[in-house]
Amino acid sequence: MISVRIKKRFCASPAGDSRGAADAFALDVEFEAPPGITILFGASGSGKSTTIKSIAGLVRPDSGSIRANGHTLFDSQRRINVAVRDRRVGLVFQGLALFPHLSALGNVEFPISDLSRRERRTTALDTMERLGIKHTASRRPCDISGGEAQRVALARALASKPRLLLLDEPLSAIDEPTKHEIIADLKMINRDLRLPMIYVTHNRDESVSLGDHLVVYEHGRVLTTGEPLEFFEGPVMPGVARLTGVENVFEAVVVQRSPAAGTMTVMANDESGSCYLDVPLGSQNQGDPVKVAIRSGDILLATENPRSTSARNIVCGPITSIEERGDYSIVRVKSGVTWAARITRQAADELSLSKGQSIWLAIKTHSCYLLDSQR
């Protein structure tokens, strides 16, 4: 069990600059990471990396405490701040930070300081073999693939037999097939070594694939905690909805309840207009305000009116923009409100979509989530 309760304040402006107070960033987080893989999830700049650097000892919090498996690593009241080398924490950075002048084997051996030279080599090679990279032992980082370099960094973090493993967005710079392979490696490590891991990411798929536990960050605070699938499949808080890739979040008002059908009709609105939607029946009464969220990937697009469908919400409007994002596209359509629909690049090509074209959107009632407007 990892227990973190820390505060740290940063000031972006130079000392004496009157803007300092406005630019300051304050980290104030408290959470527990049970055995398994804990995901720190949130937007860039929300404090995730500062947290794991604090756990590793690279950043000293202003106050609080950090405990790992019964060992106190930091406690401001008791004036405990264990040195980095004595924390037994494995850390893998986004940039890997491999030593370019050392071989892959030399990189993995580097942190092993309490063994003889022969024992260091044996331990390093055994760790590399576990990760399938023993064949890279004599090569330098510039002579191996990105996936191999990632595994070398991981082997280096594991070779010293840490009491926990910290990973700061380690997969952000590698291709999808290799990413899936490394995720499988991390699952294997978690299963075989039972090594607690804290994994920083803002990627939904990585969170769901890897995480046993989720800690959601926003603006230096912990927004919520729980199981990854619970939050990604049915977010109930506006902040969580936006962070988890729900691109359609609307203010709305209940205009009609239909208990027999298990639905209610709301009028959703944004800065571009309003429209009626059928959503799942909630506890709200007619006239009550609600927030409605629809995941962009849950919206179906059609070039003709989809007359035979179970979707209760069928709207039509012109495409206002098409944004290419890697292997998918975000299509924005104005129909009362402005919608964002996510489709594959192949689907966009097959539909021959273009700006200004009229398009139909089909949205199932149960693809509309009612958010807790009080949180």
Among 8-17, 70-79, 96-105, 186-195, the range scoring the smallest mean pLDDT is 8-17
Architecture field, domain 252-371: Beta Barrel (2.40)
Per-residue pLDDT band at 14 (split at 50, 70, 90):
very low
Domain 2-242 and domain 252-371 have a common topology: no
Predicted local distance difference test score (pLDDT) of residue 16 = 45
Predicted local distance difference test score (pLDDT) of residue 45 = 87
CA distance 246 to 231: 11
Burial of 127 (0-12, 13-18, 19+ CB in 10 A): buried
Direct distance between the N- and C-terminal alpha carbons of the chain, in angstroms, rounded to an integer: 28
Among 66-70, 99-103, 178-182, 292-296, the range scoring the smallest mean pLDDT is 178-182
Q: Are 243 and 67 in contact (CB under 8 A)?
A: no
Predicted local distance difference test score (pLDDT) of residue 245 = 63
Q: Which residues contact 350 (CB under 8 A, 6 or more apart)?
A: none
| pLDDT(341) > 90 | yes
Predicted local distance difference test score (pLDDT) of residue 306 = 87
Domain limits, the chain: 2-242, 252-371
Nearest C-alpha neighbor of 48 from the set 151, 174, 166, 146: 166
| pLDDT(168) > 70 | yes
**Superfamily designation of domain 2-242:** P-loop containing nucleotide triphosphate hydrolases (3.40.50.300)
| pLDDT(73) > 50 | yes
| pLDDT(38) > 50 | yes
